[in-house]
Amino acid sequence: MKFSLALAALLPLAASAADIAVSVGKSGLTFDPTSVKAAAGDVITFSFFPKNHTVTQSTFDNPCEPSANGASSGFTPVASADTPTLWKWTVVDTNPAWFYCAQTAHCKSGMVFAVNPTADKTVAAFTEKAKSGNGTTTSSTTAAPSGSSTATGYGGKNGASHIAASAGAAILAVAGAVAGFAL
């Protein structure tokens, strides 16, 4: 019963689902486009370009922190722009969904992405929040993202990586600014 109801619910979506392409890090520390409008059941295909980015779900209020039960691609190192790595995320509903790149200092430089932003909660406001550092402070109480269990690769250590990246972010951001390097 439950199964057939679920199937019945999925059928209309399958007929109309759109595939939406978003590139990650194709030209600098950006998502392109920076936001999309999508319906439930639409599939967003993220193409990862060099260097080593993530697509990680957060919240509007804390752009650079993984949200509880949020989705995450995990770190996705890519060597060549000729062979981007793909990761797909299926849109759950028409509510806004917020994403960032969890690589050190990328979020704070504005590497964020929004699905269905609203007039109130715009992608510009979300980006400003990310840049102004809200949500990027290290918090020892921040749990590892539960979504990381579905992330690809890297020995299931994504949760630890997120925390390590978060702890090192401030130091590396300063070092990066001084030395001019980018991760």
Binding site for ligand NAG (CB under 6 A): 52, 61, 75, 77, 103-104, 134, 161, 165
Whose CA is closest to 100, among 109, 92, 91? 109
Whose CA is closest to 117, among 127, 102, 103, 106? 127
53 binds, among Cu ion, ligand NAG, none (CB under 5 to 8 A by kind): Cu ion
The pair of three-digit structure tokens given for residue 115, joined into one six-digit string: 């699905």
| Least CB distance to ligand NAG at residue 115 (A) | 20
| Least CB distance to ligand NAG at residue 77 (A) | 4
Across the chain, where does the E strand assignment appear? 19-24, 31-32, 35-36, 43-48, 52-53, 56-58, 76-77, 85-90, 97-100, 112-115
Whichever of 20 and 101 has its CB closer to Cu ion, that residue is 101
The CB-based long-range contact list for 35-39 (8 Å cut-off, 24+ gap) reads 35/113, 35/114, 35/115, 35/117, 35/123, 36/114, 36/115, 36/116, 37/115, 37/116, 38/91, 38/94, 38/115, 38/116, 39/91, 39/94
28 binds, among Cu ion, ligand NAG, none (CB under 5 to 8 A by kind): none
| Least CB distance to ligand NAG at residue 78 (A) | 9
Calpha distance 97→119 (Å, rounded): 14
106 binds, among ligand NAG, Cu ion, none (CB under 5 to 8 A by kind): Cu ion
Whichever of 67 and 104 has its CB closer to ligand NAG, that residue is 104
Interface region with Cu ion, contact rule CB under 5 A, candidates 58-66, 68-76, 98-106, 138-146: 98-106
101 binds, among ligand NAG, Cu ion, none (CB under 5 to 8 A by kind): Cu ion
The pair of three-digit structure tokens given for residue 8, joined into one six-digit string: 């019945």
- Which residue among 67, 103, 148, 166 contacts Cu ion (CB under 5 A)? 103
Q: According to CB under 5 A, which residues from 115 to 174 bind Cu ion?
A: none
Q: According to CB under 5 A, which residues from 24 to 53 bind Cu ion?
A: 53
Q: Give contact residues for Cu ion (rule: CB under 5 A).
A: 53, 101, 103, 106, 111
